[in-house]
Amino acid sequence: MANILVVGSYVVDLMSRTPHMPSPGETVLGGPFHMGPGGKGGNQAVAAARLGSRVTMLTKVGHDVFGDEALKNFTTENIDTTHVTRHPDEVTGTALIAVDDQRENMIVVAPGACGKITKEDIVKAEQSFKDADIVLVQLETSMEAVETTINLANKLGKPIILNPAPYQDVSQDLLEKIDYITPNETEASLLSGVKVMDEASAREASIKLKEQGVHTVLITLGKTGCFVYDGTSEGGIVPAFSVNVVDTTGAGDAFNGAFATFIANGLSLQEAVTRANAVAALAVTKVGTAPAMPFAEEVEKFLAE
Residue 27 is assigned to a structural domain of this protein: no
pLDDT at 31: 85
Residue 131 is assigned to a structural domain of this protein: yes
Residue 133 is assigned to a structural domain of this protein: yes
Q: What is the pTM of this model?
A: 0.92
Spatial distance between the Cα atoms of 214 and 289, rounded to a whole number of angstroms:
28
pLDDT at 288: 83
pLDDT band at 48 (very low <50, low <70, confident <90, very high): very high
Q: Which residues of 117-152 are buried (b: 16+ CB within 10 A; e: fewer)?
A: beeebbeebeebbeebbbbbbbbbbbeebbbbbbbb
pLDDT at 272: 98
Q: Tally the domains of the chain.
A: 1
| Domain around 293 | 3-19+32-304
Whichever domain contains 143, its CATH number is: 3.40.1190.20
The 11-18 sheet, strands edge to edge: 33-38, 11-18, 92-100, 105-112
Q: What's the mean pLDDT when you consider all of the chain? A: 94
Which one is catalytic: 80, 121, 179, 253? 253
Given a cut of 90, whether residue 63 has pLDDT beyond it is yes
Residue 275 is assigned to a structural domain of this protein: yes
**Binding site residue list:** 11-13, 39-43, 140, 184, 220-225, 247, 249, 252-253, 277, 283, 286, 288
Residue 52 is assigned to a structural domain of this protein: yes
Q: Which of 292, 291, 254 is nearest to 275 (CA)?
A: 254
Q: What is the pLDDT of residues 75-124, one digit of tens each?
A: 999 999 999 999 999 999 998 989 888 878 888 889 999 999 999 999 99
pLDDT at 239: 96
253 carries an active-site annotation: yes
**Binding site residue list for K(+):** 247, 249, 283, 286, 288
| Range of lowest pLDDT (6-20, 48-62, 149-163, 251-265) | 6-20
